[in-house]
């Protein structure tokens, strides 16, 4: 989804997309903060609309984040084995790897945060302030982290450094003004509508419970340690408040305030949590250094690594077995053969967006967010999905490798996907009916 509006800008010079359901996005797209889109500008500038290129760029951010995290841990004078251990715990984690593969902003957040923390430890205050300022322009879920550490850094800057830091803040707002063409009203309308879609609509008690369950406990079987670290950071860690350094106090406060902010505002979902997980590790190591050294037990590290690597290894093996069915390039090549490339709307699976970004005369939208897709504006409309009760226009020829040595394999692949041609508006309306129930319009 984040690639789509940037791709449209490269195709037509118009930063817009019907794939996003907020009103007006088909003319101007201002839903995302600018640094969230930066990797996609890099990808399209170098590789074009390439899945390999996009994941290559995010692998680079992932590697940068992991190396920065390792450098940060080394500033804490940990035993080398512990530094490697915590890097593995965070960056081989199921959630972190999924965010990298999904090309989500959490990976960029982790890179900015890891290196920002490192430069704080090195007392390179101005560089650290720029990184935490950048963090604020990636995603609003990290605003309190960015603000808290920026204030901490600002208090340590010299008089000239404070002036430069304030100038950089003013410069960032000027750059943002240019990014949105000065249209703050439209930005606020689109951004606030997007924010509304991420706010849970049930009561506080359920929000509170889901903050623990959906973010941490739900994946306890492969990530149980995050919940333990989460509890430490939010409860008994405050017993050390008087002995903490100012950096430790800042780290603890921004973590807890971010957690409260997420309880009140952000839909509970594990995918946002990997950035918070980095803060949880910093809490454990900065706030409770003596306790954390107790984790320097080779048998404990080996046990944790084994627990971590078993599901990681299974996912890698499964991916290799399914490599034929999972190959996105073959799906796109099949769509190239089957679909017309002028005045065509494609609904459905996200892979359709990559095909559409190769052709200026096409558009893509999810059937779950179809608000800006109009059937009557296209010569032909297709639906990319599976197991639908519509006449099949073309079926992807690669079959599912269902068993291996007699074992039933699980995992979603492209095998069995079909193209359905939507012949009339009634069928189109039936497909998008559920998605149209959500109001993303501000008028």
What is the 3 state secondary structure string of the chain?
Answer: CCHHHHHHHHHHCCCCCCCCCCCCCCCCCCCCCHHHHHHHHHHHHHCCCCHHHHHHHHHHHHHHHHHHHHHHHHHCCCCHHHHHHHHHHHHCCHHHHHHHHCCCCHHHHHHHHHHHHHHHHCCCHHHHHHHHHHHHCCCHHHHHHHHHHHHHHHHHCCHHHHHHHHHHHHHHHHHHHHHCCCCHHHHHHHHHHHHHCCCCCCCHHHHHHHHHHCCCHHHHHHHHHHHHHHHHHHCHHHHHHHHCCHHHHHHHHHHHHHHHHHHHHCCCCHHHHHHHHHHHHHHHHHHCHHHHHHHCCHHHHHHHHHHHHHHHHHHHHHHHHCHHHHCHHHHHHHHHHHCCCEEEEEEECCHHHHHHCCCCEEEEECCCCCCCCCHHHCCEEEEEECCCCCCEEEECCCCCCCEECCEECCCCCCCCCEEEEECCHHHHHHHHCCHHHCCCCCC
Q: Cβ distance 432 to 374 under 8 Å? A: no
Report how far residue 171's alpha carbon sits from residue 183's, in angstroms, rounded to the nearest whole number: 17
pLDDT, position 160: 92
pLDDT, position 295: 64
pLDDT, position 405: 56
pLDDT, position 51: 87
pLDDT, position 402: 61
Q: Give the residues across from 382 on adjacent strands.
A: 346, 421
Q: Strand 392-395 to strand 407-408: parallel, antiparallel, or no bridges (unpaired)?
A: unpaired
CA torsion angle for 267, 268, 271, 272 (degrees, to 10)? 70
- Block mean pLDDT (10 aa), the chain, length 443: 89 90 91 92 89 91 96 86 85 86 92 96 95 96 95 94 95 94 91 85 82 71 71 70 85 89 82 86 78 67 76 78 85 94 93 92 93 93 91 88 59 86 93 90 84
Query: How many CA atoms lie less than 13 Å away from 51 in the CB half-sphere?
Result: 17
* pTM (2 d.p.): 0.88
Q: How far is CA 288 from CA 6, 229, 300, 319, 394, in A?
A: 44, 11, 18, 39, 60
pLDDT, position 351: 92
Q: Cβ distance 409 to 341 under 8 Å? A: no
């Amino acid at each position: 989804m984040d690639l789509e509006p940037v791709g449209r800008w490269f195709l037509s010079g118009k930063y817009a997309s019907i794939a996003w359901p907020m009103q007006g996005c088909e003319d101007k797209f201002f839903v995302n903060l600018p640094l969230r889109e930066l990797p996609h500008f890099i990808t399209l500038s170098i590789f074009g609309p390439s899945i390999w290129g996009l994941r290559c760029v995010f692998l680079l951010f992932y590697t940068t984040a992991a190396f920065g995290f390792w450098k940060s841990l080394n500033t804490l004078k940990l035993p080398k084995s512990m530094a490697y251990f915590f890097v593995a715990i965070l960056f081989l984690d199921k959630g972190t790897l999924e965010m990298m593969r999904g090309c989500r902003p959490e990976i960029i957040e982790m890179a900015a945060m890891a290196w920002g923390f490192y430069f704080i430890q090195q007392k390179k205050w101005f560089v650290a302030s720029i990184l935490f300022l950048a963090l604020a322009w990636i995603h609003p879920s990290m605003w309190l982290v960015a603000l808290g550490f920026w204030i901490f850094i600002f208090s340590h800057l010299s008089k000239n450094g404070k002036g430069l830091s304030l100038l950089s803040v003013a410069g960032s707002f000027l750059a943002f003004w240019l990014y949105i063409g000065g249209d703050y009203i439209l930005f606020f309308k689109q951004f606030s509508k997007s924010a509304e879609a991420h706010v849970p609509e049930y009561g506080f008690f359920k929000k509170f419970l889901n903050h623990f369950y959906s973010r941490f406990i739900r994946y306890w079987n492969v990530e149980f340690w995050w919940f333990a670290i989460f509890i430490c950071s939010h409860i008994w860690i405050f017993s050390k408040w008087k002995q903490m350094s100012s950096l430790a106090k800042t780290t603890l406060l921004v973590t807890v305030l971010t957690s409260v902010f997420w309880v009140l505002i952000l839909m509970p979902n594990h995918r946002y949590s990997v950035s918070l997980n980095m803060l949880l590790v910093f809490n454990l190591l900065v706030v409770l250094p003596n306790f954390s050294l107790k984790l320097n037990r080779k048998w404990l590290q080996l046990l944790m690594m084994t627990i971590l690597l078993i599901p990681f290894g299974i996912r890698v093996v499964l991916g290799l077995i399914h490599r034929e069915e999972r190959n996105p390039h073959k799906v796109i090549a099949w769509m190239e053969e089957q679909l017309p490339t002028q005045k065509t709307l494609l609904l459905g699976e996200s892979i359709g967006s990559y095909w559409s970004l190769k052709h200026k005369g096409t558009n893509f939208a999810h059937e779950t967010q179809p608000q800006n897709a109009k059937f009557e504006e296209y010569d032909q409309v297709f639906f990319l999905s599976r197991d639908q009760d519509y006449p099949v226009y073309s079926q992807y020829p690669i079959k599912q490798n269902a068993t291996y040595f007699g074992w039933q394999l699980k995992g979603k692949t492209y095998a069995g996907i079909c193209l359905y041609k939507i012949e009339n508006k009634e069928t189109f309306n039936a497909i998008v009916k559920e998605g149209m129930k959500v109001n993303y319009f501000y008028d």
